[in-house]
Chain A
Amino acid sequence: MADKMKTAAEVMLDVLYESGVRHVFGIPGGNSIPIYDALTNHPLELILTRHEQGATHMADGYARSSGKPGVVCVTSGPGATNTLTGILTAMMDSIPIVVITGQSVTPNIGLDAFQEADILGMSFSSVKHSYMVTKPQDISRIIKEALHIATTGRPGPVLVDLPKDVSAALIDPTIENDRDLPGYKEIPVANSEDLNKTADLMNRALRPVIMAGHGVVLSGAEEPLLQIAEKMNIPVSTTLLGKGGFPDTHELSIGMPGMHGTAYANKALSGSDLIIAIGARWDDRITGIPENFCPNARKIHFDIDPVEMGKIIPVDCSVTGDAKASLEALLPLLEPGDTGRWNKQVNRWKREFPLKYRKEGKLRAQHIIEELARMAGPEAIACTDVGQHQMWAAHFVQSIKGRNWLTSGGAGTMGFGLPAAIGAQLARPESTVFTVVGDGSFQMTLCELATAANNKLPIKILITNNRYLGMVRQWQHMFYENRLTGVELEGNPDFMKLASAYGIKGFRVKRSSDVRKTLKAALAWNDGPCIIEAVVEQHDNVFPMVPAGATLDEMIIEAPRKKRSGAGDEQ
């Protein structure tokens, strides 16, 4: 009997492995040593990160790019609190990660023991679910449940707090211990009444627009969406997270809606008589003030999460269920109406108000982003950080399928770009992975360059260096009379020296005319990661822009022509 015994930590790793998990991200510490000890000869591969935030974003990028859960294992106290930003990021974007935190031994919990943090209490509102393991023999059930909850229904992060005495305890691994989740709701199935009503509204609409969100990608509903859009001849706007759910290159694609959406997507939404949101939750960066959002359009909402129904926008019909299943059931009920004139109008807007930037003069971030995405090809995985460069990437990266576009949408977490790319490259070693990061965002998690280098991951890290927290500078410039406070990145490191300090390749590009040559060399570089530092125009602003509080049709389409004195070289 005794020689069959294993520690709860070993049993946990076995369950993870049997469930298909192959990588664990994290950093050890006193209260997670039993788990790391169990990793010593285990087939699960440990990816040692340099910061726990990085570990969570890696697990997140791993999950976004592969659809498989990402697993994090850290220690208690500060190790655990360092994961909170990553947990929030995953929660806001519905990403399946499991975060295992070490904890003080059970008798000490609640007594302010060394490195004790009430991580359960701190994370309640940012997790899909969480556990404290108090009995060693519960470990296999809890890990199975954690993986199940993280990956099914509307995905999300699950936290498992594991006290050191529990992880080190010996248990009989043969005891079967299955999931027991009486309160976990089944995935709802769209009811036919709602589907019929939806079909009726769609069949009669003259100016319909589909707004495809992350739910399309998460549920793998790309194919039925394409069929519906083509059959009904309806323009499709993809949200920041829905990008790739419908090909950007398709003639019916009208790009991103909302604050920095395309002019034609916003005009189409404003002018439509029916908005069909599929796996999109009417984020305030799209709707602005809900009461003023497209009041003349009827609205349909497809979502897997009943909580989202009517949360922001009252809708005429809601279809609760998995996007793919719902769309497949809807398809046969649809009969093409007359959207010909509407599409002509939308196409006129597309021609009249294209996304654009200046190609002459100083190097523009948009230029190098567009070129990198084009040269990396449609199969590449594009990651971004948060700021202006993120919006430009959303504009100029062309995605043709899901899971190739990784960005922090709901939380807008600076520092996401590099670790997410590391996770993606580990999940999909055959794919080209590039990440577009701002000089500000990059410095929040740049320590993970070591992780990328150690694992020889050939990630292309494009830093759009504008020496500013550009997005905030843009707001201060446009809405605070250019009072620039706390946005100048005085003291940025020399990114080329930084690259060499980590033993990785660096390229610097300052002129538009050098972009292609440099990117060619960078894309050919496969001996570990490389940094491409693009020294770009400092005062560029992202347009179109819907000012906060305004409606979509009040967007500013282009930069105002006039220069304001002292405002620098505005577009």
Chain B
Amino acid sequence: MEKSIKHTISLLVSNKPGVLTRVALVFARRGFNIDSLVVSKAQSPEFSRMNIEATGDEKTLNLVLAQLNRLVDVIHAVDHANEDVIQRELALFKVSCPPEKRTEVLQIAETFRGQTVDIGDETITLQVTGKSSKVDAFHTMMDPFGILELVRTGKVLMSRGKAATA
């Protein structure tokens, strides 16, 4: 078995119904699990941008990329695993937080530049943005307090400087 690594694939696709299914089927057929998926409008309304995180070996990844690029509705699909690109993610953490823990939790949140979006007697909801690794680290820090709910947007990415995000 080749070793599995995490890939971040960006796609520019036609903004049409069914495109997401076609893309998802390419992953599903080879049992390539999708870890996160973001779909949004691109600058031009005829196109959408997809960012997909998936874990798998190099050979399957190359096959999947070629198959994605073969789709008529895919303008292009590129893997950014080995590239320095801007990547961001947003997450909401609902943490168990009785009044006596509040200061501690808020201190940690501040270190992560987290924002308080909701606060109650027993809970606090924090928003954290940044690289996925930062969100992961915040997750670890919040665990001991008791995370009640967690939602992450999935990774979005963009090339640095003048380069267009392929």
Contact = CB atoms under 8 A, between A and B. Distances in A.
Q: Do A and B bind each other?
A: yes
A168 to B, nearest CB: 22
A508 to B, nearest CB: 47
Contacts of A181: 72
Interface stretch (B10-18, B107-115, B131-139, B151-159): B10-18
A341 interface: no
A182 B74 CA distance: 9
Interface stretch (A23-31, A302-310, A382-390): A302-310
A120 interface: yes
Nearest to B71: A183
Interface stretch (A43-51, A121-129, A248-256): A121-129
Contacts of A125: 25, 29
A163 to B, nearest CB: 13
A149 B72 contact: yes
B102 interface: no
A306 B66 contact: yes
Nearest to A306: B66
Nearest to A314: B59
A132 interface: yes
A480 interface: no
Nearest to B24: A124
B18 A307 contact: no
Contacts of B70: 185, 305-307
B71 A307 contact: no
A311 interface: yes
B22 interface: yes
B75 interface: yes
Interface in B9-42: 13-14, 17-18, 21-22, 25, 29
Contact of A306 (B14, B69, B71, B76): B69
A182 B14 contact: yes
A120 B14 contact: no
A307 B29 contact: no
From B59, B62, B72, name the one whose CB has the most chain A CB atoms within 10 angstroms.
B72
B17 A132 contact: yes
Contacts of A149: 72
Contacts of B67: 307
Nearest to B62: A310
Contacts, number: 43
Nearest to A149: B72
Given A120-B18, A121-B21, A125-B29, A183 B66 contact: no
B18 A185 contact: no
From B13, B29, B63, name the one whose CB has the most chain A CB atoms within 10 angstroms.
B63
B29 A183 contact: no
Interface string A21-43: 00000000000000000000000
B89 interface: no
Interface in B99-154: none
Contacts of A307: 63, 66-67, 70
Nearest to B66: A307
Nearest to A129: B72
Contacts of A183: 13-14, 71-76
A183 B66 CA distance: 13
Nearest to A153: B70
A120 B21 CA distance: 10
Contacts of A185: 69-70
Contacts of A309: 66
A354 B91 CA distance: 70
Nearest to B46: A182
Contacts of A132: 17-18
Nearest to B26: A125
A182 B13 CA distance: 9
Contacts of B59: 310
Interface string A103-147: 000000000000000001100110011101000000000000000
A307 B25 CA distance: 15
B46 to A, nearest CB: 8
A106 to B, nearest CB: 13
Given A129-B72, A183-B74, A124 B25 contact: yes
B66 A182 contact: no
Interface in B55-104: 59, 62-63, 66-67, 69-76
Nearest to B72: A129
A184 B72 contact: yes
A291 to B, nearest CB: 13
Interface string A445-470: 00000000000000000000000000
Contacts of B17: 132
A121 B20 CA distance: 12
Contacts of B72: 128-129, 149, 181, 183-184
Contacts of B69: 185, 306
A120 B22 CA distance: 10
Contacts of B66: 306-307, 309
Contacts of A129: 71-73
A130 B75 CA distance: 16
A309 B14 CA distance: 26
A132 B16 CA distance: 10
A397 to B, nearest CB: 33
B164 to A, nearest CB: 15
Nearest to B70: A307
A392 B13 CA distance: 47
A311 B22 contact: no
From A124, A132, A149, name the one whose CB has the most chain B CB atoms within 10 angstroms.
A124
B162 to A, nearest CB: 22
Contacts of A182: 14, 75
6 contacts: A120-B18, A125-B25, A128-B72, A129-B73, A182-B14, A183-B14
Given A183-B71, A310-B62, 11 more contacts: A124-B18, A124-B22, A124-B25, A129-B72, A132-B17, A182-B14, A183-B75, A184-B72, A305-B70, A307-B70, A311-B63
Interface of B: 13-14, 17-18, 21-22, 25, 29, 59, 62-63, 66-67, 69-76
Q: Which 10 A-B pairs have the closest CB atoms?
A: A307-B66, A129-B72, A183-B75, A306-B66, A184-B72, A183-B74, A307-B70, A183-B72, A183-B73, A307-B67
